[in-house]
A = this chain, B = another copy of it.
Amino acid sequence: MEPFVFERIGHQALRERIVTAETAASWIEDGMTLGLSGFTRAGDAKAVPTALIERAKRQPLKVDVYTGASLGSDIDKMMAEAGIVRKRLPFQADAAMRRKINERELLFVDQHLSHTAELVRSGVLKPIDYAIVEAVSITEDGMIIPTTSVGNSSIFVEKARRVIVELNVAQPKALYGFHDIYEVGKQGERTPIPLTKVDDRIGTIGIPVDLEKIAGIVVTNQTDSPSTIVPPDAETAAIAKHLIEFLRREVAAGRLSERLAPIQAGIGSVANAVLYGLLDSEFCDLEVYSEVLQDAMFDLLDAGKVRFASGCSITLSENKMKQVYHSLEAYRGKLVLRPQEISNHPELIRRLGLISINTALEADIYGNVNSTHVRGTQMMNGIGGSGDFARHARLTIFVTKSSAKHGAISSIVPFVSHVDHTEHDVDVIITEHGYADLRGLAPVERAPLIIEHCAHPDYRPQLRDYFAEALKRGGHTPHVLEQALSWHIRYEQLGTMREETYQLQ
């Protein structure tokens, strides 16, 4: 083995445990449960899952797969296509796996990202046979230093029967020192999580591991797969503009300072665009307490707009990856990666008073938000951390383009086809047309704001008609039950939610 590999394994005896991915994969038996590192395409275990998929071609098997969040490197795609997954949780974002989930060829459990660790710790979920976690190094005192994400790796390592480490020499060794691993302990026996500021360090720089549990170390050399973020367009830029405008009004009202409050922004192109919007704003000295640190975050750090960013993973485009990982020292002391249980912990989200910005799939006229299910039935990705943040943030903002599929789908509907965030948890909805500030409003006060400020103008007459008819029917939250889901049914039948093409049958 090359010296540059050995120098990443501080603990001498462990150097004897280096095995091939194929060997490690051969230990995995049908029916086992695996806990994989990986969060939003970052820091995922790559070689052993790939070898397992290969092996399954000769020896079919099914395993349960727990992760941090979505995997990169096409692992979810390949696992789904190979049919080796019986149950998958808590999140995924791959098109092939999504198809298999919706065809019910595999079981998917969509969980709040802060909840999975509790369920593993308390023994509610099936125990983990192998934790397979990516590392940049293993220290002399036997701590696993994660790579570009922490995810659920620390609880997987603690609770798994055995551990396989993927030592990835393509991941920058300089990530050493960027992590802060904190274990909350058993419910009922734990003390307050001592974090009170986004840059507090409360744990260890790596994942403590019982060395006896390390079954093998697989050396790999493969970068994370780059993110597929599309650059801001006119609509996402308009959303960002409305967000800035809303934040300005909060500053003017004395509820926020120009430093705002720690920001969380969900994954994806809309959230990324919104962060770019902050780059040109007057807000400064910002703090971030989020899950995923995307491209925009590093531009904000570079511009000095963001003072400090706490996250659970770093997910970058190809170019940004090159830039960031070649100048990591510039970010030392300015960012930290935490377990997702900590990045998404209700205790901390509420204490810090975050401004939380997440993407809605659709919202209804009363402010209920669907983040997961297309037409109420087809899983998109999962709720992710949005519920962890929405319920507890100081300001819970959902953003979405007002329409999709070239206008055939309205993102504002009479009645959402699935609820992930209830009316009690949604403060502000923003589309490219404007924002609706729903705080302190009764349902019938919310509907006109959402319709007139957020809905696509083409859909406003239809929404106004629905609301007017609903008002006649009465109730605190007026609805016309037999029409409530008619927009989704129309789309299913006719390919559009628009009424002019809708023929009554």
Question: Which residues in A have some Cβ–Cβ distance to B below 8 Å?
Answer: 87, 89, 101-104, 107-112, 115, 118-119, 122-126, 186-188, 190-194, 196, 253-255, 261-262, 345-347, 350-353, 368, 373, 375-379, 383, 387, 391-392, 394, 415, 417-425, 439-442, 444-445, 470, 473-479, 481-482, 484-485, 488-489, 492
Q: How far is the CA of A351 from the CA of B189 in the complex (A)?
A: 8
Q: Which of chain B's residues has its CB closest to A346's CB?
A: B346
Most B Cβ at <10 Å: residue of A107, A368, A377, A391: A377
User: Would you call A422 and B346 a contact (CB within 8 A)?
Assistant: no
Q: Nearest Cβ in chain B — how far from A283, in angstroms?
A: 15
Q: How far is the CA of A379 from the CA of B254 in the complex (A)?
A: 34
Q: How far is the CA of A404 from the CA of B468 in the complex (A)?
A: 31
Residues of chain B within 8 A (CB-CB) of A112 are 391, 424-425
Q: How far is the CA of A112 from the CA of B426 in the complex (A)?
A: 12
Q: Nearest Cβ in chain B — how far from A120, in angstroms?
A: 10
User: Would you call B419 and A422 a contact (CB within 8 A)?
Assistant: yes
User: Would you call B187 and A440 a contact (CB within 8 A)?
Assistant: no
Residues of chain B within 8 A (CB-CB) of A440 are 89, 109, 119, 124-126
Q: Nearest Cβ in chain B — how far from A424, in angstroms?
A: 5
Residues of chain B within 8 A (CB-CB) of A193 are 192
24 contacts between A and B (CB under 8 A): A102-B474, A107-B442, A187-B353, A187-B394, A188-B262, A188-B353, A190-B351, A192-B193, A192-B347, A346-B346, A346-B350, A346-B391, A375-B481, A376-B481, A377-B476, A383-B424, A418-B477, A420-B422, A420-B424, A422-B422, A481-B489, A481-B492, A482-B485, A482-B489
> Which DSSP category, helix, strand, loop or mixed, fits chain A's interface?
loop
Query: CB < 8 Å: which of B122, B254, B419, B488 contacts A394?
Result: B122
User: Would you call A477 and B377 a contact (CB within 8 A)?
Assistant: yes
Do A379 and B489 contact each other (CB < 8 Å), given the known contacts A255-B122, A351-B187, A442-B109?
A: no
Q: Nearest Cβ in chain B — how far from A256, in angstroms?
A: 9
Q: How far is the CA of A425 from the CA of B445 in the complex (A)?
A: 28
Q: Nearest Cβ in chain B — how far from A53, in angstroms?
A: 22
Most B Cβ at <10 Å: residue of A421, A422, A485: A422
Residues of chain B within 8 A (CB-CB) of A104 are 444, 474, 476
User: Would you call B261 and A188 a contact (CB within 8 A)?
Assistant: yes
Q: Which of chain B's residues has its CB closest to A349's CB?
A: B346
User: Would you call A253 and B123 a contact (CB within 8 A)?
Assistant: yes
Query: CB < 8 Å: which of B261, B445, B475 contacts A107?
Result: B445
User: Would you call A477 and B373 a contact (CB within 8 A)?
Assistant: yes
Q: How far is the CA of A383 from the CA of B422 in the complex (A)?
A: 11
What 10 new A-B contacts, CB under 8 Å, besides A101-B476, A111-B424, A123-B253?
A107-B445, A112-B391, A115-B424, A118-B394, A192-B351, A373-B475, A377-B475, A377-B479, A379-B477, A420-B424
